C-alpha cells in the first residue's frame, strides 16, 4: 500500500483518540510509537486539530453525566 494511506490512518487514529480523551501530546507520542517517525507530522497535526475542535467535550464528562442521570 502507498505511504499516503498509512499517513491518513495515523492522522485519523491521532485525531479520534485526541478528541475523545483530550490528550494531544500523549496521542502524538503514542501514534509515533505505533506508526513510526515518518508519520509524526500528520499525527501531530491531527491530534492538535482534534483537541481544538472537541476541547470542552470529553469522554470522561459524558460518562459522568450519564452516571448522574441514573
What's the pLDDT tens digit per position in 14-48?
A: 999 888 888 888 998 999 899 999 999 999 999 99
Between 24 and 62, the more confident residue is: 24
Which residue range forms the structural domain that includes residue 52? 3-69
Confidence band of 9 (pLDDT split at 50, 70, 90)? very high
| Residue 7: CB atoms within 10 Å | 17
What's the domain count of the chain? 1
pTM of the model: 0.77
SS3 category, 58: coil
Identify the pLDDT of residue 61.
77
Under 8 Å CB-to-CB from 30, ≥6 apart: which residues? Answer: 17
Amino acid at each position: 500500500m502507498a505511504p499516503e494511506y498509512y499517513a491518513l490512518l495515523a492522522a485519523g487514529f491521532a485525531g479520534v483518540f485526541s478528541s475523545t480523551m483530550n490528550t494531544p501530546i500523549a496521542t502524538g507520542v503514542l501514534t509515533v510509537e505505533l506508526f513510526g517517525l515518518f508519520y509524526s507530522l500528520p499525527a501531530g497535526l491531527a491530534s492538535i486539530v482534534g483537541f481544538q475542535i472537541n476541547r470542552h467535550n470529553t469522554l470522561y464528562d459524558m460518562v459522568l453525566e450519564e452516571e448522574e442521570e441514573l
